[in-house]
Chain A
Amino acid sequence: MPLIDAAHLYRYYGKHCAVNNLSFHLHKGDVLGLLGQNGAGKTTSLQMLCGVLAPSAGQIQINGFDLLKHPLAAKQHIGYLPDTPPLYRDLTVTEYLTYCAKLHGLNKQATRLAMAHVIERCGLISVSKRLIAHLSKGFQQRLGIAQAILHQPDIIILDEPTVGLDPLQMTEIRALIRELGQEHGIILSTHRLSEVQESCNQVHIIHQGKLLLNESIAALDDMMNTGIIQITTRFAADNQRLATIVGVTQIETLAENCLRVHFNPANNPTQALTETIMVAGWELQELTPVKKSLEDIFIALTQDKTS
């Protein structure tokens, strides 16, 4: 049984259609990235999945419970971090987490265990006695995540979890998400393409409320393969000799010692190229497969739709 089975969701704000026929399926162990520009309908979709907003049309099953008919049973399985962490500034970290645990119906002992667990996991030990108002943005964000995973929900919904963090904190949060993804199902939204590549194993690209692409990360990686390798050597290489290698279709010279080798993806010549260069003594300095960035794919997809 899928953790989330949401079909044909629509959401209108007045006449404006913010979410147009989106469907979500999430299984245990999935980390689904929701990718889109600002105003694409990411936040609205997530708010519908956790019951903060009701869909204008469509059905949502959470762990087998219908979110609209049995909201309390369904919400027990959801942990949600909104785009702004829902923190009470005049509470301390421990007081806040105790309140959240009570709201989710944890008893005293479960609360104590769960709190010790998330405080450690989200790196909040050093600030657990501090007032939330005095925490830095990074710690507030981590506390928001702690609140979402406190009651061990099967589904974790994170709305832009790394926004406003410094690069080091971002890496930490992404590692945490990957780790959590092993035991839970996670949906996260972002407009950063690299984040999806790093933390997710599935991606939905949405634009103006509609689904543009629904792929696994592996398939996305395939789409990004261009069949080009960029090579830098210390001494100028002999293009003609390289062109004879099986699989190579074309060679262009970028700079004096810098080449771009186009090849047939079915017949990857990387190994042969390296050997040839070493034997010839041109001294290989750099060999990089050129990839289409996710940005390119994103732009291509959105332009397709708008034009």
Chain B
Amino acid sequence: MKSLIIAEHEFKSVFRSPMAWTVLAILQLIFAYLFLTQVETFRRLQGKLAVIDNSPGLTDIVVTPLFGNAGIILLLVTPLLTMHLICGERRNKTLPLLLSAPISSTQLVIGKYLGVMGLLVLIVAMLTLMPLSLLVGGELDSGKFLANILALSLLVSAFAAAGLYLSTIAGHPVVAAMGSFGLLLLLWILDWSALSDADASSWLHYLSLLRHFQNLQTGLLSTVDVSYFVLFISTFLCATRQHLHRSRLTP
């Protein structure tokens, strides 16, 4: 219950400043451009696809690349949304209010996390609206479409968890943003080096965010990929809680 109070405060506070509005507007603009490009590609290929058996459909050509690109864009944006979570409270000297109130560290971490997730879910929802508009004149593979929504949601949840942790350990918001961006980008591109040397670095494969994200995007809902994200999120949330707890002993 206390977590929801903090989450609500956090969610509302981004809308009090121009930040949330700017982020939503600019992302929507970029997503719309990407979406229209993909629709155009589909229109161009439509004639050729009609003659191929088992050809990629509207979902494969529009939705999957759109969500894939959205994942990369959110990798750039999420650190900016999470950098203030704890770090901002500390710099604004408002953290003592939360620490001296009857709230546990766990509630505080979950509240902050849910607060930023609110905005991220909104971003994903607004992105989802675009492919939905195709239903007017076409048909979507609903299974694949839902798999894409799930994949992107899990991906941004993972981004947010890592961002929250770095916001807790960093002393300055820019350090937090740069730190989480670096960490996420590194986890993203781990796959690239893994590709060149397939067997020697299979564990790198396993660590890569991109790989698990793409697996889910294909519509193959495997436990391995989902649990990777669940583990990723819970690891960072626990680390955040632990750090907050310890910081009372050694600030």
- Contacts from A to B (Cβ < 8 Å): 13, 47, 50-54, 56, 71-73, 75-76, 78, 80, 82, 84-91, 99-100, 102-105, 147
Given known A-B contacts A72-B103, A75-B102, A52 and B96 have beta carbons under 8 A apart: yes
Given known A-B contacts A54-B249, A72-B102, A76-B102, A103 and B97 have beta carbons under 8 A apart: yes
B234 within 8 A of A: no
Contacts of A85 in B (CB 8 A): 93
- Determine whether the beta carbon of A50 is less than 8 Å from that of B100: yes
Contacts of A84 in B (CB 8 A): 93
- Which of A50, A53, A100, A147: most chain B Cβ within 10 A? A53
Which 8 A-B pairs have CB atoms at the shortest separation, nearest pair first?
A86-B97, A84-B93, A80-B100, A86-B94, A75-B102, A82-B96, A103-B101, A54-B248
> What is the CA–CA distance of A102 and B101 in the complex, to the nearest angstrom?
10
Q: List 14 A-B contacts (CB under 8 A).
A: A13-B251, A50-B100, A52-B248, A71-B104, A72-B102, A78-B100, A86-B92, A86-B95, A86-B96, A100-B97, A102-B5, A103-B2, A103-B5, A105-B2
A216 to chain B, nearest CB (A): 28
Interface of chain B residues 84 through 111 with chain A (CB within 8 A): 92-104
> What is the CA–CA distance of A89 and B89 in the complex, to the nearest angstrom?
12
- Determine whether the beta carbon of B5 is less than 8 Å from that of A99: yes
B13 within 8 A of A: yes
Contacts of B96 in A (CB 8 A): 47, 52, 80, 82, 86
Which residue of A has the minimal Cβ distance to B93?
A84
B44 within 8 A of A: no
From B17, B99, B102, B104, A90 is in contact (CB under 8 Å) with B17
Contacts of B43 in A (CB 8 A): none
Contacts of B98 in A (CB 8 A): 103
- Determine whether the beta carbon of A51 is less than 8 Å from that of B99: yes
B16 within 8 A of A: yes
Contacts of A86 in B (CB 8 A): 92-97
> What is the CA–CA distance of A71 and B244 in the complex, to the nearest angstrom?
15
| Binary A-proximity of B41-55 (CB < 8 A = 1, otherwise 0) | 000000000000000
If A86-B92, A103-B98, A105-B102 are given as contacts, then 5 extra A-B residue pairs at C-beta distance below 8 Å, sorted by A number, are A52-B96, A54-B249, A75-B102, A89-B92, A100-B101
- Determine whether the beta carbon of B248 is less than 8 Å from that of A82: no
Contacts of B95 in A (CB 8 A): 86
Contacts of A52 in B (CB 8 A): 96, 99-100, 248
- Determine whether the beta carbon of A90 is less than 8 Å from that of B5: no
Contacts of A82 in B (CB 8 A): 93, 96-97, 100
> What is the CA–CA distance of A72 and B99 in the complex, to the nearest angstrom?
10
A10 to chain B, nearest CB (A): 12
